[in-house]
Structure 1
Amino acid sequence: MYNNTLNHEILKLIKEQPEISEKNIARTLSITEDAVKARLADLRDVRDKILIMGNGHNNYHNLRNELEAENYNVVNVSDALLALETVKEERPDIVLLDTASLNADGFEICRQLKANPKCWWIPIMVLSERNKAEDSIKAFKSGADDFISTPFNTLELRARVGMVLRRSRI
């Protein structure tokens, strides 16, 4: 079962039977009780979700820690082939897209996400190792909502993430 379908089925069971136990949900859907507990915890998580698309090198472990310290729910994906599927499954509130560390063209991924009717509304902040005007122009032309070059100041990045999230809610 796909993640969204599974979540939908769990919610449907709870709506139909408000007193249903996690054990009975697991039995009904043929999944583990731990999987049910994890899904319910995710469904209760109301924090803004940030999807970091990058190879997970040390800068991104630090970035993840910084964002989690700000009480964001942070998910990371490093494979561009999984990136598009992960966005559809995770439904993040914002994507931080590292154009340099994916195994595909990050600007093309940005274009594909913005062209997809299931996720076009998700703001994308492009992170680029090269501090060149061409990269920022390319990012904005591909649909990015913001651009920042690395290495970046984590305080500035956190401020920009907050600003993009506020702007997306308007």
Structure 2
Amino acid sequence: MNHINLDREILKLIEEQPEISEKDIARTLSVSEELVKVRLAHLHDIRKKILIMGNGHNGHHAIKKALEAENYNVVNASDNSSALETVNAERPDLVLLDTAFLNTDGFEICKQLKANPRCCWVSVMMMSERNKTEDSVKAFKSGADDYVAEPFNPLEFKARVGMVLRRSQI
């Protein structure tokens, strides 16, 4: 069972039986009690959550580390589920979406996220390895809240992330 499904099952049990213990959750779901504790800690994290949806190149690892240093909860999208499923499961405050997400057009994913009533609320910052005006225009037309082209200054990038998150609270 992957973490997304496990989290759903844990939450379902807690909703049905608010007084249920970690030990009982573990027994019911046939997982270790330690795993239940880890997943519950993950669910209790109150930091702003940022979901990175990209092709996993080295720049994304650096982005993750820089944002974690700013005390954000940063998670990477799994490549085995759809973008919509991942956003619905993770419930991020911000999606950092690569214009070339795996084998899919990031612009199209952005359009889908913004058109779906279950996740249209999430802020999207698109990232690209290409510094072309038409890409930034296409990003904004697809519904992105911001756009940044690599290479980018880490200080400016963190400031942009903070700005998008502040704007989303209004």
Q: Does TM, normalized by the shorter one, top 0.5? A: yes
| Distance in 2 (alpha carbons) for counterparts of 1:58 and 1:67 | 15
Unmatched tracts of structure 1, length 5 or more:
none
- Contact 2:113–2:120 (CA<8 Å) still a contact in 1? yes
- Contact 1:99–1:126 (CA<8 Å) still a contact in 2? yes
Tell which deviates more after alignment, 154-163 or 28-37. 28-37
| Residue aligned with 1:167, SS | helix
| Distance in 1 (alpha carbons) for counterparts of 2:81 and 2:16 | 33
TM-score, length of structure 1 as denominator length: 0.89
Aligned to 2:68: 68
Unmatched tracts of structure 2, length 5 or more:
none
How far residue 86 of structure 1 moved from its aligned partner, in angstroms, is: 1.3
- Contact 2:78–2:86 (CA<8 Å) still a contact in 1? no
Q: Is the alpha carbon distance of 1:3 and 1:29 closer, same or farther for their aligned partners in structure 2, counting shifts above 3 Å?
A: closer
Aligned to 1:6: 9
Alignment of 1:36-75 (within 5 A): 36-75=36-75
Aligned to 1:161: 161
| Distance in 2 (alpha carbons) for counterparts of 1:3 and 1:85 | 14
| Distance in 2 (alpha carbons) for counterparts of 1:90 and 1:109 | 16
Alignment of 1:7-22 (within 5 A): 7-12=10-15, 15=18, 17=19, 20-22=20-22
- Contact 1:93–1:165 (CA<8 Å) still a contact in 2? yes
How far residue 13 of structure 1 moved from its aligned partner, in angstroms, is: 5.3
Aligned to 2:118: 118
- Contact 2:84–2:119 (CA<8 Å) still a contact in 1? no
Q: Is the alpha carbon distance of 1:4 and 1:36 closer, same or farther for their aligned partners in structure 2, counting shifts above 3 Å?
A: closer
| Distance in 2 (alpha carbons) for counterparts of 1:54 and 1:80 | 13
**Matched residues, number:** 167
Q: Deviations over 1:41-76 (max 9, x none)?
A: 012100111001112211111111100000111111
Aligned to 2:129: 129
TM-score, length of structure 2 as denominator length: 0.89
How far residue 135 of structure 1 moved from its aligned partner, in angstroms, is: 0.6
How far residue 112 of structure 1 moved from its aligned partner, in angstroms, is: 0.5
- Contact 1:94–1:125 (CA<8 Å) still a contact in 2? yes
Query: Aligned letter for 1:24?
Result: D
| Residue aligned with 1:124, SS | strand
Q: Is the alpha carbon distance of 1:141 and 1:7 closer, same or farther for their aligned partners in structure 2, counting shifts above 3 Å?
A: farther
How far residue 127 of structure 1 moved from its aligned partner, in angstroms, is: 0.5
| Distance in 2 (alpha carbons) for counterparts of 1:112 and 1:44 | 28
- Contact 2:47–2:73 (CA<8 Å) still a contact in 1? yes
How far residue 5 of structure 1 moved from its aligned partner, in angstroms, is: 2.9
